[in-house]
Structure 1
Amino acid sequence: MKEVRVGICGLGTVGGGTFRVLARNASLIAGRAGCQIRVARVATRTPKEEFDLGDIPFSTDVFDVATDPDIDVVVELIGGYDTAKELVFAAIRNGKHVVTANKALIAVHGNEIFAEAEKHNVIVAYEAGVAGGIPVIKAIREGMAANRIDWIAGIINGTGNYILTEMRAGREFDEVLREAQALGYAEADPTFDVEGIDAAHKLTILASAGFGVPLQFEHAYTEGIANVTPYDIAHAELLGYRIKHLGIARRRDNGIELRVHPTLVPRSHLIAQVDGVLNAILVDGDAVGQTMYYGPGAGDEATASAVIADIVDVARTVLCGNSQRVPYLGFNPSAMETLEVLPMEDVQSAYYLRIQALDRPGVLANVASILSEHGINIESIMQKESELQDGKIPVIILTHTVQERQINRAIEDLEALADIEGQVVRIRAENFN
């Protein structure tokens, strides 16, 4: 049986999981790949005593893997931008195929990486970068190849989903974030997770694979969850909704929406039931309708599952005699579209608004009048007398679908009213019909 020689760069969480699963399931993987897959070199900055490398060559310099003539596939699991980018380009220019779990690298530099890989006739595979162990990229590129994909939406960051899940019990954001860090769900610097940057990286890749457009991370709208309060979560529930931190990509006639933000989702929808650190992605195709992909979006062996699936794909398609390849983003370059990412002002959504109003006659009439002037219809309104405090009372409004520019102008006028205190809280809502 032929042999494919793999070089693993990085033995952290995902690298360690990949090493273990390749060793444990070696014969099963070989049977599926049609060839033996052997770890032939490992590079990591710090040697890991828990891994018995035996006679596998080891280095603290990842570039030793990229230049080793005996390596067929370089597995990049070091993360970050700069060194990882240099490593991937070095591997490509040395004729190596690349498998990576680095969503930030692909989202930001993917266009140039794929162009370089095309020039050198090698594959760059990145399934593990988007949703951990969930094979959603393969589903979009291959299983849904017959479909025009109209929208993709999902929970694609487990840290944010865990925090919002725990806040449903009335707990504050800061408290739950500290707990998530203690449990290892959030990094010491949680910015990428709670501000939506990690989700925007993943959404950028999903949108490109789904719509056949270049990667455009720099145009993604990103809003985090730090300002979501237990009060808003509880009142969304009373209205029949649950707040989830979603990435949403939607095809429009004149471009695409690409946005990450807290979102009200009907509690009856499947995605509203996804709790804790789990991920779920909805994909809507014109032929198949809505499909959902659910499972662990991170973790050592869950993500390793996707890494090894990519290695198997490379082994099958190139190194074991089958030259048929799937294009990097699911579309041949000549078929890629030039749809631009729409500005947020052009996005259409329903809205949850929370207004802190003085308890005076005519306030609700003034609020309704301003919304009407901007073409905004009210679906429901909630005001509880029991919440009256110091002459002020929260007013909760759920609107019908409108353009973001309409709600922006309405909020500006509402905040200018003498009977309204502070800023109007705005959370977008989606029904996914």
Structure 2
Amino acid sequence: MPSVDVPVALLGYGTVGASVHRLLEEQGDEIERATGHRLRVVRALVRDADKERRFAPATGVLTTDPADVLGDSSLAIVAEVMGGVEPAGPYVLELLASGRSVVTANKQLVARRGAELFAAAASSGAQLRFEASVCAAIPVIKVLRESLVSTNVHKIVGIVNGTTNFVLSAMDEGRTYAQALAEAQELGYAEADPTDDVGGGDAAAKLAILSTVAFGSRVPLEWVAVEGIEGVTQEHVRAARALDMRVKLLARATLADGRVDARVGPAFVDVRHPLAAVEGPFNAVMLQGDAIREITLEGPGAGGIETASAVVADLVSIVGTTGTGFLQDDPVWHELERLPPGDLASPWYLRLEVEDRAGVLERLAHELASEGVSVARLVQQPVDGHATLHVVTHEAPAGRVDRALAAIRALPESRGDAIAIPVVSQRGVENLGWA
């Protein structure tokens, strides 16, 4: 059977775009053998066609005119790797509305405008694929949409940002936050402006996408409670180690009683938990469901070639499955409500600074007990007339913990700011032990 020639266009030709082109060139024979299609990059939209590039395309491929891509009906498949919501959003919508399939690596676009994109694809019969928008080379979207379609996934816990995981891993080895971030930037794991990564915005967009696909209901980005790692210090890292835990930035989504809770923030992770061992720029996603109990997908979650591999896999899937089924459809099939932010229960690590004198512990215990927060473990470190208390609680709703801490902060014996960090463990806080 003769091979089918498939012209492909790229929106963007930076690190990821160039890597997509290179993979299609280098692996073209293997792709053709597997699919019967030869994928060729024939157009790439760029801002500056004269810029020097490591993998230079043939003459005539680069263009600065969007009409050369948007107006060319012979380009049946387009990969969007330019990033940002504007102008990528209007470009992708126009392509989908005209019946052309799109692969995107753009997490912010899918998280913010996914409903519009899928509506346009459904109307025209085009495909929209977005594996690379979440965890680069880790095929978590494919697993959720295909392998686990009947599994009833009800919980997602993951490390989905390589920059923050590298920084926290370096801090665990003794570097300060500033030193760890500078090292990440030097090695190319962090952008010159790392705000979206360290502030949690990148992970939040990915979690909104994962939650939408896993739960079959639109989870808007606004539903994701976000806290970054800018406030994590060596004191937090040392406290976690003393509790036989590690500090990780976790993305967590839970389906409870037909309602969704989604949040990104630092957590103390038990060293026996699979995510505690994920180091450096790697990502990992744990999925829990009725039929599977629990599975973990781990691998490189960032990088040009890693992201490009996911883009190419989606391109190959499109030419192999055109017109065949549910992957063309919006993963959303029902509407779930948002769980009130303070309702989800978790064990907690509390750090409290108080005067070191008689009766203070009793006052603290009273404030915690009045909100139904039960103490599982406590360590007291006296220093110069003050005491730092490291507390691990049993499961308690976040709202109750917040109210208890507000009352503790108001006590005349309180010194410094009382903080709470969720604890993630699979063996129960009673069995965590102390180092």
Fold shared per TM-score above 0.5: yes
1:166 aligns with 2:165: no
Residue matched to 1:381: 378
Question: Quick check: 65-74 or 98-107, which moved more?
Answer: 65-74
**Pick from 174, 185, 189: which aligns with 2:189?**
185
Q: Which amino acid aligns with 1:356?
A: E
Q: 1:327 deviation in Å?
A: 4.5
Alpha-carbon distance in structure 2 between the residues aligned to 1:363 and 1:353: 16
Q: Which amino acid aligns with 1:396?
A: H
2:228 aligned counterpart, secondary structure: coil
Alpha-carbon distance in structure 1 between the residues aligned to 2:328 and 2:84: 25
1:396 aligns with 2:394: no
Residue matched to 1:26: 28
1:371 aligned counterpart, secondary structure: helix
- Conserved? CA contact 2:157–2:286, under 8 Å: yes
Alpha-carbon distance in structure 2 between the residues aligned to 1:254 and 1:213: 11
Q: Which amino acid aligns with 2:11?
A: C
1:430 aligns with 2:431: no
**Pick from 200, 203, 206: which aligns with 2:207?**
203
Q: Which runs of 5 or more structure 1 residues have no equivalent in the other structure?
A: none
1:154 aligned counterpart, secondary structure: strand
Q: Which amino acid aligns with 1:342?
A: L
2:372 aligned counterpart, secondary structure: coil
Q: 1:94 deviation in Å?
A: 2.7
1:352 aligns with 2:349: yes
Alpha-carbon distance in structure 2 between the residues aligned to 1:97 and 1:432: 42
**Pick from 208, 227, 230: which aligns with 1:226?**
230
- Conserved? CA contact 1:111–1:215, under 8 Å: no
Residue matched to 1:363: 360
1:353 aligned counterpart, secondary structure: strand
Alpha-carbon distance in structure 2 between the residues aligned to 1:300 and 1:329: 27
Report % sequence identity.
Answer: 36
Q: Which amino acid aligns with 1:201?
A: A
Residue matched to 2:100: 96
Alpha-carbon distance in structure 2 between the residues aligned to 1:49 and 1:177: 27
1:65-76 pair list within 5 angstroms: 65-76=69-80
1:394 aligned counterpart, secondary structure: strand
**Count of matched residue pairs:** 423
Runs of 4 or more consecutive aligned structure 1 residues displaced over 4 Å after TM superposition = none
Q: Which amino acid aligns with 2:405?
A: I
| Structure 1 residues 26 and 253, CA gap change in structure 2 (3 angstroms) | same
**Pick from 331, 335, 339: which aligns with 2:336?**
339
Question: Quick check: 50-59 or 405-414, which moved more?
Answer: 50-59
Alpha-carbon distance in structure 2 between the residues aligned to 1:170 and 1:58: 46
Q: Which amino acid aligns with 1:31?
A: R
1:96-120 CA-to-partner distances (Å, cap 9, x unmatched) read 1101000000000111111111111
Alpha-carbon distance in structure 2 between the residues aligned to 1:245 and 1:64: 42
Alpha-carbon distance in structure 2 between the residues aligned to 1:232 and 1:252: 30
1:270-312 CA-to-partner distances (Å, cap 9, x unmatched) read 1100010000000012111110010010111111110011101
1:117 aligns with 2:121: yes
Q: Which amino acid aligns with 1:70?
A: S
Residue matched to 2:314: 310
- Conserved? CA contact 2:122–2:329, under 8 Å: no
1:411 aligns with 2:405: yes
- Conserved? CA contact 1:208–1:329, under 8 Å: no
Alpha-carbon distance in structure 2 between the residues aligned to 1:27 and 1:396: 59
- Conserved? CA contact 2:349–2:423, under 8 Å: yes
Residue matched to 2:158: 154
Residue matched to 1:279: 283
Q: Which runs of 5 or more structure 2 residues have no equivalent in the other structure?
A: 428-435
Alpha-carbon distance in structure 1 between the residues aligned to 2:66 and 2:105: 16
Q: 1:421 deviation in Å?
A: 1.1
1:178 aligned counterpart, secondary structure: helix
2:169 aligned counterpart, secondary structure: helix
1:420 aligned counterpart, secondary structure: coil
| Structure 1 residues 290 and 329, CA gap change in structure 2 (3 angstroms) | farther
Taking structure 2 as the reference length, the TM-score comes to 0.94
Residue matched to 1:12: 14
- Conserved? CA contact 2:121–2:328, under 8 Å: no
- Conserved? CA contact 2:107–2:206, under 8 Å: yes
Q: 1:374 deviation in Å?
A: 1.1
Alpha-carbon distance in structure 1 between the residues aligned to 2:192 and 2:180: 14
- Conserved? CA contact 1:282–1:291, under 8 Å: yes
1:125-177 CA-to-partner distances (Å, cap 9, x unmatched) read 10000001100000111111220101011000011111111111332212221
1:296 aligns with 2:300: yes
Q: Which amino acid aligns with 2:228?
A: G
1:239-267 CA-to-partner distances (Å, cap 9, x unmatched) read 12111100001001040111001111110
- Conserved? CA contact 2:7–2:76, under 8 Å: yes
Q: 1:195 deviation in Å?
A: 1.0
Alpha-carbon distance in structure 2 between the residues aligned to 1:359 and 1:215: 46
- Conserved? CA contact 2:119–2:330, under 8 Å: no
1:204 aligned counterpart, secondary structure: helix
Question: Quick check: 176-185 or 153-162, which moved more?
Answer: 176-185
- Conserved? CA contact 1:200–1:222, under 8 Å: yes
Alpha-carbon distance in structure 2 between the residues aligned to 1:266 and 1:130: 25
Alpha-carbon distance in structure 2 between the residues aligned to 1:72 and 1:180: 39
